[in-house]
Chain A
Amino acid sequence: MLDNSKPLLEVNNLRKYFKVGGGGILGGKKSWLKAVDGVTFSINHGETLGLVGESGCGKSTTGRTIIRLYDATGGEVNFDGTDLTKVPEKELMPFRKRIQMIFQDPYASLNPRMTVTDIIGEGITTHNISRGAERQERIFNLLMRVGLKREHANRYPHEFSGGQRQRIGIARALAVEPDLIVCDEPISALDVSIQAQVVNMLEDLQDEMGLTYLFIAHDLSMVKHISDRIGVMYLGQLAEVADSDELYNHPQHPYTKALLSAIPIPDPDLTRKNKRIILQGDVPSPIDPPPGCRFASRCSIASEQCRRETPVLRDRGAGHLVACHNV
């Protein structure tokens, strides 16, 4: 079945462009919004890769393109040896079972008219895993696995708190025994004290079931906590990829440095001493971006070359990849 010597997921030069403007009765100029523009990374079995970046950097689009919620504009998504971008829609079913997703908003991602049993059981039925009493038993087990009770099975989503709903979403993802779970901001809608509950649970599940996570989030301290390796995205491209400790202790890309220094630390003495790098301006528009490095317009060390040539990710030793001309 699984070949453990190779990475479980290899994303190669993945691109996803959205067409904006143009068409319709008004005509107008057609442009491309380059949400994901040449992203390459891999995830090993049982590993957690964190994908961080600010809103609009393409991290969620990357996740959604991997599971074929969007069709890629170009590039490859090799999952356990198969390029998912080339698999015809009709033959995707077995892969959908092996890759699941947990969504950000636990209020929007559960159908309010379905009971918990129906929500969790839908995948079990679709993939023909079990039926009848066996299916029900499986649902009970899943509920207990995520810290809920048997008697919750016949309730509706509105009867639960945000944290509990996220647990239902996790149980739904686990129901079909996936290999890879794409977690798209799974905790950012939750309260601080509840976030820790969910994160600990995700860690336990990974240990017990050998799951592999792609963990997408904007909260850097939480990503650092949960990930083995981290990829930092900026405007559709990866700026830096490294082991999480390495990335935090020795960031090399100027954007990663600024991003790290911007995190407020819950320690008054430390955070006030901390010299932060304040980036000027805002993230530019991803519609028809200029050539060269995407970060050049806000970068303190940008040179002429940066505005001309797009830097590629290069290994700077021990798997620490940086896309920058000047470091």
Chain B
Amino acid sequence: MKKPLLEVNNIKTSFFSHLGEIQAVRGSSFILNEGDVLGIVGESGSGKSVTALSIMGLIDNPGRIKEGEILFGGEDLVKKSQTELSEIRGNEISMIFQDPMTSLNPVYTIENQMVEVIRRHNKDMNKREAIAKAVEMLTLVGIPEPEKRIKSYPHEFSGGMRQRVMIATALSCGPRLLIADEPTTALDVTIQAQILDLMNDLKQRVNASIILITHDLGVIAEICDQIIVMYGGTVMEKGTAKDIFYSPQNPYTVGLYQSVPKAGKTGEKQRLIPIEGSPPDLMHPPKGCPFSPRCPHAMKVCLEKPVPMFKLSETHSSACWLLHKDAPAVGKYTKGVESVG
């Protein structure tokens, strides 16, 4: 049995703007086991990035974690002070961001920036040892001639190479959890393939669990063991890659999958099936299921009552009223499942 590394329980994060409260995450819960790769998939405004930032303790004013707990190795991160958190960030949990162009400082060399991070977390390391460690990490992520390239400035690297530097830096202190927020979105497909290949390789070589956040179903399918589908600040469905792709039990997951063209299929031109309407306004989220205004199967209960998670199997659960025992039978949705929480 795998041990859970991270347990997120009913986390609610809001931003208090002058127009009102924006409820970016409205009760998200999941568990990440040691050594697993968890994918969080969702569109913009689904709360996937805010969930990650909440775990990192990087929610800044005017935002605040209102409720819930984030248990990392048994300790609640929500209750920790910023000083305690900065010990955990980098050492235990580190993060890479979407845009490698803006997450590196343009006026310092790569060496400067990596050594700063390494020595910040390993106080007894001298500069030479830190440089050696940095070179070792750059070699690990496949940067050619690392001894030479480490003296370069960020602008001398291409986008893909910069993302490799970010990954090397994030892994340099041996974190137990790596959060990657859209790590390949800003990159070209052939470079994306290089980075995904690298992450697949590192998954086996580095002893870290990974949370990968993306809007791209293809990327998720490629490297994740566990998947969470988010929409309107809530978790719609969670399960293994096979559960989510081969037997989705939530109309939103199904809709998302149908709206992307399946490369490889040929012959008769298939028509895409879009999800009509647009995502909810998080200032005034719908009372019931956030997807109900766009859902083809929405019932009265969907508009009025928040949906509980229905447990389909040990690994698979979904938040949809169609799974309730009194719901009408629609399509392939399993009916009469007990709800949890």
Contact = CB atoms under 8 A, between A and B. Distances in A.
Contacts of B106: none
A263 B221 contact: no
A245 B189 CA distance: 20
Contact of B272 (A54, A55, A225, A270): A225
Given A191-B215, A192-B43, A196-B274, A265 B189 contact: no
Contacts of B272: 196, 199-200, 225
A276 B197 contact: yes
A54 B218 contact: no
Interface in A144-191: 161, 163-164, 191
Interface residues of A, number: 44
A82 interface: no
A263 B194 contact: no
B293 to A, nearest CB: 13
Contacts of A11: none
B266 interface: yes
A200 B274 contact: yes
Interface in B218-241: 218-222, 241
Given A54-B188, A271-B222, A245 B266 contact: yes
Contacts of A249: 266
Interface in B256-305: 256-264, 266-267, 269-276, 278-279
Nearest to A248: B266
A264 B275 contact: no
A137 to B, nearest CB: 26
Contacts of A222: 261
A200 B279 CA distance: 19
B193 interface: yes
A54 B189 contact: yes
- The A interface is mostly helix, strand or loop, or mixed, namely helix
6 contacts: A54-B188, A193-B255, A225-B269, A248-B266, A249-B266, A262-B192
Contacts of B278: 161, 163-164, 194
A269 to B, nearest CB: 8
Interface of B: 43-44, 158, 160-161, 188-194, 196-197, 215-222, 241-242, 245, 255-264, 266-267, 269-276, 278-279
B216 A264 contact: yes
Given A192-B43, A197-B276, A278-B194, A265 B263 contact: yes
The 3 closest A-B pairs by CB, nearest first: A264-B218, A196-B274, A196-B259
A262 B263 contact: no
Contact of A193 (B241, B264, B275): B275
B298 to A, nearest CB: 16
B257 A282 contact: no
A268 interface: yes
A315 B279 CA distance: 47
Interface in A61-87: none
Interface in A292-317: none
Contacts of A282: 158, 160-161, 191
A266 B245 contact: yes
B190 A248 contact: no
B257 A263 contact: no
Given A193-B275, A194-B278, A279-B194, A218 B189 contact: yes
